[in-house]
């Protein structure tokens, strides 16, 4: 029956559940206004809010992070977190990283380590059970610095570059094997400028015991592909017939896809036992792509070029969805997705949607974190404007401030070119959300979601909480 999966044709019926029926007979989640808060900083040695507020003191005040990542693993700053379950622990990766280099960062670190990260990406694990305990990140180590995700060339000899903006985008554990989805292909066009129009994604294995990597197939590639930044999620056991998958297909890996130029989110599926090779028993592609719907029923295609949007960008004026994260709540039997609608203004930020099945229907996205509305700017994210016209978040400034040029919040450290990304002139950005599935909590009629996200300035990863009313 597994071999027949490759012969799927478009138009398999699934249990048609309209949005109205979902709201009428199923669980609905409503964002609790004002509930999105920063709990703590995950990476770095010191919380940059406290450090920057007292940086004039000698020495500055350090509110230690739980993991003291600079001291323990030479991870001073990084971005785009990824987290997934594996054998009772969490596997965590982070994006472009810099360490305790006193030449570039003497203001933020009192010691020096000689290792040069070159924007490479560390991998770690954690056994923390609750968000309130503080996430303790234990990095896989190579000497006195965290192990870098550096896959070897693909089977055809093509090198997997891991420079700036080339990062792990997702991961999944299947039968005890860790798989990473790597986004690579970024081209450096000038100092501090990168072209991501040729990005593609590569499947990589990680062996936890030997701390080694093996590189496999290309998953998707721009400009035609829709999964250059993939998000993996495993459905264990038999998938319901309503998915359109023949009985006996076994566990399935769902891949949600976005890219830097994406106007929304796409979906594909593949049997778990074909995941590494990408092929069925007959040597044909085993991946099927969501290709829209007809009369309320989904269509699936063997061709990625026929993919249709699963979820469109909520801000039609700026339809840019470069990051997403997916979790599953056993308590609610719901798939939960958070994604970034990039840009500036009141419609930008982290959105949440949910569904009873990966193929939907997905609820109308709700804005759950906006850097201005939810007091990120001027609080734990640096806010800056050159002119009054650029002051689009006056509430981030101290009360009564009317300066023609102003700033508020912790300034730095920042990544990259220090002449371009000046700490006290670079506005923060909320991006790279990563839902922590094991931290999801249901208390009565309240759902508590916990997720990590990056803040750009300071260049760090923070743990966030957003709450929802369950109906």
Q: Is the pLDDT of residue 167 over 60?
A: yes
Q: Does domain 3-19+60-371 have CATH number 2.120.10?
A: no
Model confidence band, residue 91 (pLDDT cutoffs 50, 70, 90): very high
Q: What is the mean pLDDT of the chain?
A: 90
Taking the C-alpha atoms of residue 220 and residue 228, their distance in angstroms, rounded to an integer, is 5
Q: Is the pLDDT of residue 9 over 50?
A: no
Model confidence band, residue 245 (pLDDT cutoffs 50, 70, 90): low
| pLDDT confidence of residue 50 | 94
| pLDDT confidence of residue 238 | 62
| ω into 187 cis (within 30 of 0) | no
- pLDDT tens across 122-141, in order? 999 999 999 999 999 999 99
Q: Is the pLDDT of residue 2 over 60?
A: no
Contact status, residue 299 vs residue 292, Cβ threshold 8 Å: yes
| pLDDT confidence of residue 44 | 97
If you average pLDDT over residues 372-388, what whole number do you get?
97
Quickly count: other Cβ atoms within 10 Å of residue 55's Cβ.
17
When mean pLDDT is compared over 19-28, 49-58, 188-197, 247-256, the highest value belongs to 49-58
Please tell me the pTM assigned to this model: 0.92
| pLDDT confidence of residue 15 | 29
| pLDDT confidence of residue 278 | 97
| Buried/exposed code over 67-91 (b: 16+ C-beta within 10 A; e: otherwise) | bbbbbbbbbbbbbbbbbbbbeeebb
Q: Is the pLDDT of residue 181 over 70?
A: yes
Q: Mean pLDDT lowest for which of 251-265, 356-370, 410-424?
A: 251-265
If you average pLDDT over residues 344-364, what whole number do you get?
94
Q: Percent of the chain, pLDDT > 70? A: 91
Residues 6 or more apart whose CB falls under 8 angstroms from that of 460 comprise 41, 42, 43, 44, 48, 77, 78, 454
| pLDDT confidence of residue 57 | 83
Q: Domain boundaries in the chain?
A: 3-19+60-371
């Amino acid at each position: 029956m597994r071999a027949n999966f490759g012969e799927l044709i478009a138009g398999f019926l699934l249990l048609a559940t309209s949005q109205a029926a979902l709201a009428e007979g199923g669980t609905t989640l409503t964002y609790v206004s004002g509930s999105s808060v920063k709990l703590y900083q995950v990476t770095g040695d010191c919380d940059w809010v406290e450090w920057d507020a007292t940086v004039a003191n000698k020495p500055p005040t350090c509110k230690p992070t739980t993991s003291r990542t600079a001291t323990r693993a030479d991870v001073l700053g990084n971005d785009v977190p990824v987290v997934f379950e594996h054998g009772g622990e969490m596997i965590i990766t982070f994006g472009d990283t810099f360490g305790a280099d006193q030449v570039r960062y003497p203001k933020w670190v009192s010691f020096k380590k000689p290792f040069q990260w070159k924007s490479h990406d560390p991998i770690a694990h954690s056994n923390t059970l609750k968000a309130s305990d503080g996430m303790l990140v234990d990095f896989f180590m190579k000497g006195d610095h965290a192990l870098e995700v550096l896959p070897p060339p693909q089977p055809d000899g093509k090198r997997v570059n891991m420079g700036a903006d080339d990062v792990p985008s997702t991961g999944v554990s299947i039968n005890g094997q860790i798989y990473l989805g790597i986004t690579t292909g970024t081209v450096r066009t000038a100092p501090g400028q990168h072209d991501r129009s040729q990005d593609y994604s590569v499947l990589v294995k990680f062996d936890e015991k030997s701390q080694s990597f093996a590189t496999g197939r290309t998953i998707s590639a721009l400009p035609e592909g829709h999964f250059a930044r993939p998000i993996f999620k495993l459905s264990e056991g038999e998938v319901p017939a309503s998915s359109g998958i023949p009985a006996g297909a076994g566990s399935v890996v769902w891949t949600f896809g976005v890219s830097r130029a994406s106007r929304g989110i796409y979906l594909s599926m593949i049997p778990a036992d074909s995941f590494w090779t990408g092929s069925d028993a007959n040597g044909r592609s085993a991946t099927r792509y969501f290709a829209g719907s007809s009369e309320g029923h989904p269509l699936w295609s063997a061709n990625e070029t026929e993919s249709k949007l699963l979820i469109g960008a909520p801000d039609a004026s700026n339809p840019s969805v470069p990051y997403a994260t997916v979790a599953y709540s056993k308590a609610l039997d719901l798939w939960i997705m958070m994604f970034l609608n990039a840009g500036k203004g009141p419609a930008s930020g982290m959105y949440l949607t949910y569904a009873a099945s990966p193929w939907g229907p997905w609820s109308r996205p709700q804005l759950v974190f906006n850097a201005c509305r939810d007091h990120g700017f001027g609080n734990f994210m640096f806010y800056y404007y050159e002119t009054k016209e650029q002051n689009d978040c006056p509430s981030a400034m101290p009360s009564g401030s009317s300066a023609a040029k102003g700033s508020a919040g912790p300034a730095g450290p920042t990544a990259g070119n220090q002449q371009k990304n000046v700490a006290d002139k670079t506005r923060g950005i909320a991006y790279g959300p990563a839902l922590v599935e094991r931290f999801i909590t249901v208390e009565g009629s309240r759902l508590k979601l916990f997720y990590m996200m990056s803040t750009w300035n300071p260049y760090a990863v923070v743990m966030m909480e957003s709450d929802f009313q369950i109906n």
